[in-house]
A and B are shown apart, each in its own frame.
Chain A
Amino acid sequence: MSPGLKARVLAAAAAEPSPTRAAVRRRNRLISLVAAASGIGAFVLFAALISGSHLLRLGGEVMPQQHVERPVWLVVTTAGGAGAVAVAALWLALSRGRSMLGRSPRRLLYGSVLIPVSLLAWKLTSSIAFGDAMVAWPDRPGERCLSLSLLVAAGPLLSFLAIRRTTPVQPALNGAVLGFAAGACAWIAVDLWCPVAYVPHVLLGHVLPLFVLAVAGALLGQALLSVRRR
């Protein structure tokens, strides 16, 4: 080992201040608040522009003279279930267990499969109990739900990447799981706003954005979370 190496490393570290654990916790709390505010803000803005500031839509005109309405308990059940999945997704994506290298790739892969599958399964099984919600809505193919999901999830996804900062192992996979977690959070807003449970609509408007966000998360994860020489 070169004689001056230790002195060089210590001097370089001293010249570059780094936050302590307490400072990182404070910063992460602030970023979480920004994430929540950006998601809720995007939802309110979208509702104001598209549906006259209605954050909760129980029903609507399927076609002229046919009105379908969701019971409140169905909204509570679907949004509550989506909330539980979102909490589990956030736990998987943001907590690293007891290792600095995060969760194993196998667990992350299982999570990537389980998040969209459980959200879709919950939405459909809850809606089956209320048959009218499953009917086709010709004028609602799902593009508004798609844009709502992406709009609501964009801020949280960037915030989650900022909280995670770096990961030396599997940055793309970690980024993809962060994308799924952001999508799961947005799913709650979409559940409140959209009364449609018609399967093609749900696949296009509710499930597809999860995968779009996962791909975006993977690309951003590879670019931002990778360990690189400075």
Chain B
Amino acid sequence: MERYSKGDEAAFAELYDAIAPRLLGFLRKATRDPFTAEDLMQQTLLHMHRARGSFIAGAPVMPWAFAIARRLLFDNTRRRRVERRLFSDAPADDNRRTYEPTAPAALADELLHVRRLEWRLRQRLDDLPESQRTAYRLLRQEGLSLKGAATVLGTSVTAVKLRAHRAYVALRAVLRDAEEAS
């Protein structure tokens, strides 16, 4: 990013290779829609491209990229909500609820149990408030530090700890219920 901000045009391809996979993973988990995720990733990288001149030398790039992606995700969700309201005849298109794992009937019971559990966990994660869900994802799935996640979320480290803790408690409850049921 440092080279790109100075005007080295070829550095953008390297920047893409360095951050696109993680960014796309984050957006795919958040949207559950590969097309929306790719579109948002493209928008995020274009935003970084437009803002390259204001890049601070030595500043960490990933928290910045995640923060832009998160804002674009909000914007996208809001736009979809407005579109749905305007075209209420259209079938519901909530991309956060489209995940329906299909376990082939031929698979063993154990695999089915794991798939069901995974589906319940995803559903529980989706039901969490956005702030808790994103805190959990940034810490557990993207491997950001507490400070990095706090920067992306625009809050304090203590608040991130609290949000992530609440997410862990909710997910642990799903695991406990599944254990008791089995």
Contacts and interface: CB of A to CB of B under 8 A. Distances in A.
Interface stretch (A72-80, A131-139, A162-170, A198-206): A162-170
Contacts of A23: 53
B42 interface: yes
Given A1-B20, A168-B67, A20 B154 contact: no
Given A100-B56, A169-B67, A6 B72 contact: no
Interface string A10-30: 101110101111111100000
Interface residues of B, number: 48
A8 B21 CA distance: 15
Contacts of B42: 5, 8-9, 12
A3 B6 CA distance: 29
A19 B16 contact: no
Given A1-B38, A96-B56, A169-B151, A16 B50 contact: yes
Contacts of A5: 20, 38, 41-42
- The A contact surface, by secondary structure, is loop
B71 A18 contact: no
Given A5-B38, A9-B42, A13-B45, A18 B52 contact: yes
A162 B85 CA distance: 34
A21 B64 contact: no
A227 interface: yes
Contacts of B60: 99-100
Given A13-B46, A229-B79, A106 B70 contact: no
In this complex, the member of A22, A23, A104, A165 whose beta carbon has the largest number of chain B beta carbons within 10 angstroms is A104
Interface of A: 1-2, 5-6, 8-10, 12-14, 16, 18-25, 96, 98-101, 104-106, 165-166, 168-170, 226-230
12 contacts: A1-B38, A2-B38, A6-B17, A20-B7, A21-B52, A101-B151, A165-B51, A168-B67, A169-B154, A170-B154, A227-B47, A229-B79
